[in-house]
Amino acid sequence: MEITASMVKELRERTGAGMMECKKALTENNGDIDAAAEALRKSGLAKADKKADRVAAEGRVAAAQAAGKAVLVEVNSETDFVAKDENFASFTSAVAQAALEAADIEALKAAKLPSGETVEEARAAVIAKVGENVQVRRMARIDSDNHVAAYVHGGRIGVLLELKGGDAELARGLAMHVAAMNPPHNKQSDVPAEFIAKEKEIELAKLSEKDRAKPAEILEKIIGGKISKIVNEVSLYGQPYVLDTDKTVEAVLKAAGAEVIGFQRLAVGEGIEKVVEDYAAEVMKQAGLA
């Protein structure tokens, strides 16, 4: 059967595969576009398996919101170049929308996209297009009747924040604050006692012999002041508000009669050990100069 240019074009639009791959698949399947598309999908899965062990520490974070639900997803690639690719960005956005109805990351991978493919099938297709390992790594979600802000900065940092009281504008401002300042804890009371005890030990060790010789009550005030500052630095409530640094977040919330119930923050690649390539050293080694 003759393989026409229009057949190749249709298969390319359906699968995103290269022209030569489409022509080959059509030839091997006697011009049957459905069978050729299935063959290309299987080929994409095979390529995905081969690339699965390669470190994917770049990527994008995307958000979606609807009817009291808000989600973030992190999808990883091997390079920042691919993270900016239109196919990769579209896939990440589609995954975020699908995550609105997914309970966890495994359910998300099995969820259907508008194209009819599952997220996992679409991931394999993206791998075939971009030539890199692509992983749907994790998701975060908040389901609430309170104000929920979903903020993504530059495609690399995402925040979900739930605010009781106040308004949507304040919730978004606080989400931006969390994106910028990355507080480990919400309120000062959330800071673990073990952390505080360790910081006291460190601050005491930093004191001079003269200060350590002072009466216990004075020493307690000195250490207490330092610990209070540290606790404020690691809690959202204690930090200066990025949109009005003359006030703490706690003061802004009090003025609005609001309370942050909680927040979640995802940053691309955090916790993944990246492979650092020293190309100069590799060339030297191969040349026998190192």
> Per-residue pLDDT for 207 more than 70?
yes
For the ranges 37-46, 85-94, 166-175, 210-219, the lowest mean pLDDT is seen at: 37-46
Among 57, 275, 59, 81, CA closest to 156: 59
Interhelix angle for 19-28 vs 33-51, to 10°? 120
Q: What is the residue type of 215?
A: P
Residues forming a β-bridge with 118:
112
> Per-residue pLDDT for 42 more than 80?
no
Structure confidence at residue 47 (pLDDT)? 47
> Which burial class, exposed, middle or buried, applies to 277 when counting CB atoms under 10 A from its CB (0-12, 13-18, 19+)?
exposed
Cα–Cα distance for residue pair 57/143, rounded to 1 Å: 28
Q: How confident is the model at residue 55 (pLDDT cuts 50, 70, 90)?
A: low
